[in-house]
Structure 1
Amino acid sequence: MRIVVTGASGQLGTDVVLLLQGENHDVLGCTRNNLNITDLEQCKKVIGTFLPEAVIHCAAYTAVDAAETDIDKAYQVNAVGTRNIAIASEQVGAKMIYISTDYVFNGRSELPYQEYDNTDPQGVYGKSKRAGELLVQNLSSRYFIVRTSWVYGLHGNNFVKTMLRLGQEKPSLQVVHDQKGSPTYTVDLAEFLLELVQTDKYGIYHASNSGECTWFEFAEAIFEEALNMGFNMIAKPEPCTTEQFPRPAPRPFNSVMDHLSIRINGLTDLRPWREGLHHYLIILSSIQS
């Protein structure tokens, strides 16, 4: 397939491009240097020239706390930029995958969120990503909206890398134990996106590694795996509450998403989060050694 990937230098976009190229797809990876997604005419020109069969829209404003004061920029990228990609994709008849987030929910549910539960974003980031979802639904006739959570990969900063760094620097480390979700390894998510984009099973999907944990439990697993692989971890994670770590943007207490659409459409679910973490750390340790 001919596929355009936006945000191609980002954490997820990099792995999506590498996977597509490895599977011999014809890929145009777009970064800020060669595509300003907030410029509609440029989006039309780039996508209209390449004539893709599909567009995987990974580019996003993801600074959750900064978005609380940088409101216009968050909406300019996540809403207007997504609108522009949707319009340009539709003009050439391309399918579109829009990467969204668990932050479109309020995080107060007792149960995992299903794809068609009511959304209720609490912060600017979540609201701007939900605006992007609505624009895709209104402007694209062939779309996949893929909500994911707690993403980490080899390319870019993330929670796993932060824990590895702090765990080798500090004697103790407090990690929030009252927020739960599902960590998602970018390689596993990219493989799901590749399977999805080759279908006509349009709609909304929740895609994260299977299972759930709190941030503290995630940190414990990171430390345990890292120690087994020879990382010099001197810290011991200690549980704390969200109240002990106030942040500008509200955090969802429950980010766990049920993979209803994956199941009922007969697609391949992502492996358990602990397996994804183990695979990630093996690769990371081999790069660093």
Structure 2
Amino acid sequence: MMAIEIDGGTIPPYPEEMLGNSYSEQFRKLREMTIRDDDVIVCAYPKAGTHWIWEVIQMLRGQTTEYHKHIKEQHMLEARNIDNFEADPSPRVLNSHLYPHHLPRQMFEKKTKMIYFTRNPKDTAVSMYFQYQGNTVEKSFGYHGNLSDFIDLYINKGIPYGLWYDYVLEWEKFFKTTENPFYQFSYEDMKQNPLHHVKGLAKFLDTDISDELCEAIVDACSFNKLKKANEDVKDDFLKPYFKEGTSFYRKGKVGDWKNWLTVADSESIDRMTAKRMKNSQIQLKYTI
């Protein structure tokens, strides 16, 4: 796996045809990007469920259960030519795996609404491992090592977007001082009580929406239906970058790490979590 170091962080080396810019130019334009008053951004570490939540927000803002024709990467700040965002109709639902200091400056000037969520580090690691194994872009996402070696990279040495711990701790620090309105929750809470959070998100977004439509959105955005929509409905331009039978959607379960991590690997994550998260207020759930 390779990562591009830029502006105090790392990102995957996205194919140049996606960016249309050099990496330094991409991040310069990103920081100077024009933000609209009605923009919303979905932020999370990779494999935390961003596709799921992005689709929920699209449906809430459109008051529909129709799937957006695009995949969320076509609205992802670091993975798309910044100039192309200007052509997108409002209201825009942006998304990113970047740290707060990488985001457009106008987001903080205009107090853009932010939706942020976390996923426990064990399920995140397993999901990320299988995505990298399924990727065909050898110089960026491709990974051929075993899971134990990947866990060592994940908790000690860093991978694209950096360590999970660095990411969640920086966002936790950010939310203690920001004036941006934000809705914060966990993947596990969303899985356990999706209707509660869909209604909460609707209220946060000032969307006048019925309970019946909220229930219908929960159903439309269930894992299996979203996976099928990605295959049958969406213009998924990233399909060529995945091996046959693989995609962004694998299982979407909480606690699947128990089927893959060895006792030693699980304990390694536990030790690092105890060390790095000892002063954090983030509540982690490994099962529901």
On whether the aligned pair clears a TM of 0.5, the verdict is no
For Structure 1 versus Structure 2, the TM-score category normalised by the shorter chain is 0.3 to 0.5
TM-score by length of 2: 0.35
Greater share of strand residues, 1 or 2?
1
Select the structure with the greater relative contact order (CA < 8 A; seq sep ≥ 6).
Answer: 2
